[in-house]
């Protein structure tokens, strides 16, 4: 693919400027993070399951520590953004709301912030009630 | 459908369509997974807790749908990223088959991990 073709493809993927560029870039970065996490997740659960019930439960005690819960919140932020912006991209593919792509980007950000606020509250309450 | 959507996608119509289909499966399945596993069962996660869910066919279907759709969506997504950085022709074919083999292996490994619960 030539440089020019690549630029054209990028324009098609995310309108290569302003809000559209950031939407595309965040989608790509969160996508790579989530792809790598998925295989780490399959690996960790498999290793845990292979150790039997006792080993699996010991592993979960570690995964429910404050450090891992906070890491989970960052992971969830990537999931929520990628999912909501994915819906935005699906709409564009269907030919819907392309001219409102900037408004939709801010709607994606706003919805992500609200969802993350709820999960942050749940997580921090859990940490507080279980002690550090 | 917006004109040119399929023409612009590297890998043709079927991979493009599957990426969209798995996206919808993941939005629904992952929402259920996160809410049920990490909110409704908050602090309760254990071997027996997982066993309780996997005794229900619904959650077996959700888990396998997430495993399959997740692996496909992740690897095809990585493939699309890599195609923007110079893979073409023969190296593109090798990349695609390499990722396909990795995906099949990961699905087998994930199934093997679920096996003790499914056969309990």
In whole angstroms, what is the distance from residue B38 CA to residue B22 CA? 22
Tell me the pLDDT band of A14, cut-offs 50, 70 and 90. Answer: very low
High-pLDDT (> 90) share of chain A, %: 67
Greater confidence (A121 vs A20) lies with A121
Question: In chain B, where are the structural domains located?
Answer: 5-118
Third-level CATH fold of A3-130: 3 helical TM bundles of succinate and fumarate reductases (1.20.1300)
Least confidently predicted of A93-97, B1-5, B60-64: B1-5
For residue A94, give the chain B residue with the closest CA: B1
Question: What's the CA dihedral at A57, B67, B83, A97 to 10 degrees?
Answer: -110
pLDDT digits (tens, 9 = 90+) for B9-59: 656 788 999 999 999 999 999 999 999 999 998 888 899 999 999 999 999
Is there a contact between A49 and B116 if contact means CB atoms under 8 Å apart? yes
3-state helix/strand/coil string of chain B: CCCCHHHHCCCHHHHHHHHHHHHHHHHHHHHHHHHHHHHHCCCCCCHHHHHHHHCCHHHHHHHHHHHHHHHHHHHHHHHHHHHCCCCCHHHHHHHHHHHHHHHHHHHHHHHHHHHHHHCC
Average pLDDT estimate for A33-61 = 92
Per CATH, the number for B5-118 is 1.20.1300
High-pLDDT (> 90) share of chain B, %: 67
pLDDT digits (tens, 9 = 90+) for A64-110: 899 999 999 999 999 999 999 999 999 999 999 888 999 999 999 99
- State yes or no: pLDDT of B118 exceeds 80: yes
Chain A residues near residue B84 by CB distance under 8 angstroms: 1, 6, 9-10
Nearest to A126 among B8, B42, B71 (CB): B42
- State yes or no: pLDDT of A1 exceeds 60: no
On average, the pLDDT of chain A sits at 88
As for the ipTM of the complex, it is 0.89
Residue linked to tokens 């906070």? A70
In whole angstroms, what is the distance from residue A84 CA to residue A80 CA? 6
On average, the pLDDT of chain B sits at 90
Average pLDDT estimate for A16-33 = 91
In whole angstroms, what is the distance from residue B29 CA to residue B18 CA? 16
Interface with B, mutate which of A34, A38, A120 (most B CBs under 10 A):
A38
């Amino acid at each position: 693919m030539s440089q020019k073709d690549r630029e054209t493809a990028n324009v098609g993927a995310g309108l290569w400027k302003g809000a559209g560029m950031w939407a595309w870039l965040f989608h790509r970065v969160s996508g790579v993070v989530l792809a790598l996490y998925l295989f780490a997740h399959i690996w960790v659960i498999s290793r845990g399951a292979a150790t039997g019930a006792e080993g699996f439960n010991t592993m979960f005690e570690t995964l429910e520590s404050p450090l891992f819960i906070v890491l989970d919140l960052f992971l969830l932020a990537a999931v929520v953004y990628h999912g909501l912006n994915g819906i935005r991209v699906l709409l564009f593919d269907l030919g819907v709301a392309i001219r409102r792509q900037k408004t939709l980007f801010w709607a994606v950000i706003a919805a992500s912030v609200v969802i993350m606020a709820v999960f942050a509250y749940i997580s921090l309450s859990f940490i507080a009630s279980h002690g550090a | 459908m917006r004109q040119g959507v399929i023409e612009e996608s590297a890998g043709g119509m079927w991979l493009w369509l599957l990426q969209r289909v798995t996206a919808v499966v993941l939005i629904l399945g992952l929402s259920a997974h996160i809410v049920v596993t990490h909110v409704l069962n908050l602090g309760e996660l254990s071997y027996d807790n997982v066993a309780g869910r996997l005794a229900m066919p619904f959650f077996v279907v959700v888990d396998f749908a997430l495993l399959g759709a997740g692996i496909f969506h992740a690897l095809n997504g990585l493939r699309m990223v890599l195609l923007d950085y110079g893979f073409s022709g023969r190296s593109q074919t090798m990349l695609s088959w390499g990722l396909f083999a990795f995906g099949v292996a990961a699905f087998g490994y994930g199934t093997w991990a679920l096996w003790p619960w499914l056969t309990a």
